[in-house]
């Protein structure tokens, strides 16, 4: 009789390393779950039904199997970085159809650590939007399929939140890991700049995009991030020393109102941190100028990425407008380093008195799951800005941030979440605090699809 498949990446890898579980069985069961449950979610753009089992068989023959940190772990990759042999569509019909000839450095690190890529997850066109849908599918939260899984790593969030895979890759330019993590009830971490290879699109949106992780536990997120960063010590988030924690639950922009349940999620996380022995104080973030600086770079990133597409005429209407505005921004020379320098200086002063800041991850529940790609630019912009104003600041300055589940919204039945952010180099601190909060307020790891 075969052993049951463990639920977490940490458990799977341990069982494969000690020989009580075969990689082929783990991958076969993951593919079965995906085939059965993904039609209700729309998480996967590509299912590697033939290649993944072959790769699992090859993995089982590796002489170093017993030393691999991700031995046999099935993982999903967001379909905007290269996976050898697969076409990188980036949620768009405007790209080419040639398969990638080599893995992106992130994928290469995951494979070297023993992970098996079982599929490529869906994203909105060019990763531009905070909800995930394409002409082929609408990606939904596994907690309530009436609502979006968020974006742009929405497919990865839905796949992990539903338990189709224990962990997934995502990348984050304005919150694109943390937003779907919050919508799907999982952990999502965006590391700081240069911790993990970026290399997304033309120029990683001027340095705002980072590759990160979505997982059902902090331990799994830490394990995968340790592989991506090449820093094994990140895999063991021990309790942190006493920290000075700021709570900033108010809206960072006049364009968004914070739903009281989302504000309460941040306050709940702060209360749990205080109960664990940390000092907590209300301290609004110095956000002045951030919205404008983010907007200009969001537009410019779209223009640069669209400029490299072989079929730009096939872009969706909303994306064509976004890219056109971005070209105007670039021609006018509106992006200046001083815009970010001023904000970063204020944040460095802020963190002289605080080690971590806690905010809500989102300002309100995700928009309804619908074909947002058929709607106009204004409708998409309004939806994005109103529900996800807390995440972009940390992309602008290139500092680490993560999202953890904190309760359930009483109206929608979808998850609530708190965001933890800190200064450069604080990835370990954020993971250690997140693990402490997870122990104090554990969450349901996998959602029932309904």
Active site residues: 78, 152, 176
Per DSSP, 307 falls in state T
- Contacts of residue 141, defined as CB under 8 A and 6 or more positions apart, other chains included, come to 147, 148, 149, 150, 157, 158, 161, 183, 184, 366, 369, 414, 447
Give the C-alpha separation, 319 to 324, whole Å.
8
CA dist., res. 205 & res. 188, Å (int): 20
CA dist., res. 92 & res. 5, Å (int): 35
Return d(Cα 380, Cα 270) in angstroms, integer: 32
CA atoms within 13 A on the CB side of 94: 22
Helix H or strand E segment including 443:
none
Integer Cα distance of 83 and 68 in angstroms = 20
- Give CA separation, 301 vs 146, 247, 250, 305, in Å: 30, 31, 28, 6
Q: 188: number of CA atoms within 13 Å, CB side?
A: 38
Residue pair 164/431 in contact (Cβ under 8 Å)? The answer is no
Element (H, E) at 372: none
Do 88 and 201 form a contact (C-beta atoms < 8 A)? Answer: no
């Amino acid at each position: 009789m075969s052993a049951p498949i463990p639920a977490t990446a940490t458990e799977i890898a341990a069982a494969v390393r000690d020989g009580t579980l075969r990689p082929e069985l783990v991958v076969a069961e993951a593919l079965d779950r995906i085939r059965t449950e993904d039609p209700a979610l729309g998480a996967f753009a590509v299912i590697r039904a033939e290649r993944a089992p072959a790769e699992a068989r090859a993995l089982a023959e590796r002489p170093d199997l017993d030393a691999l940190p991700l031995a046999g772990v099935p993982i999903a990759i967001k379909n905007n970085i290269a996976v050898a042999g697969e076409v990188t569509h980036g949620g768009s019909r405007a790209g080419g159809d040639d398969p990638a000839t080599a893995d992106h450095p992130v994928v290469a690190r995951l494979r070297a650590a023993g992970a098996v890529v079982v599929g490529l997850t869906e994203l909105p066109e060019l990763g531009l939007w905070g909800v995930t849908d394409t002409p082929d599918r609408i990606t939904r939260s596994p907690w309530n399929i009436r609502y979006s899984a968020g974006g742009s790593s929405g497919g990865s969030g839905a796949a992990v939140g539903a338990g189709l895979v224990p962990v997934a890759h995502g990348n984050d330019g304005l919150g694109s890991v943390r937003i779907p993590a919050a919508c799907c009830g999982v952990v999502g971490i965006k590391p700081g700049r240069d911790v993990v290879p970026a290399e997304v699109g033309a120029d990683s949106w001027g340095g705002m995009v980072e590759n990160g992780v979505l997982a059902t536990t902090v331990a799994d997120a830490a394990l995968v991030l340790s592989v991506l960063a090449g820093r094994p010590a990140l895999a063991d988030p021990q309790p942190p020393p006493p920290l000075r924690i700021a709570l900033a639950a108010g809206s960072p922009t006049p364009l968004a109102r914070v739903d009281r349940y989302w504000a309460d999620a941040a306050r709940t996380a702060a209360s749990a941190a205080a109960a664990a022995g940390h000092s907590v104080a209300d301290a609004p973030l110095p956000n002045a100028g951030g919205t404008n600086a983010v907007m200009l770079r969001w537009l410019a990133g779209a223009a640069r990425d669209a400029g490299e597409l072989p079929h730009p005429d096939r872009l969706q209407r909303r994306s064509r407008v976004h890219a056109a505005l971005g070209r105007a921004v670039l021609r006018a020379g509106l992006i200046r380093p001083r815009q970010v320098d001023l904000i970063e200086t204020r944040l460095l002063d802020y963190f002289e008195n605080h080690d971590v800041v806690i905010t809500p991850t989102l300002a309100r529940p995700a928009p309804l799951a619908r074909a947002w790609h058929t709607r106009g630019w204004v409708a998409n912009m309004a939806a994005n800005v109103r529900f996800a104003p807390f995440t972009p600041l940390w992309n602008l300055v290139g500092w680490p941030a993560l999202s953890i589940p904190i309760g359930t919204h009483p109206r929608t039945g979808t998850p609530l979440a708190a965001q933890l952010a800190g200064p450069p180099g604080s990835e370990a601190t954020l993971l250690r605090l997140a693990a402490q909060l997870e122990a104090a307020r554990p969450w349901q790891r996998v959602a029932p699809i309904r």
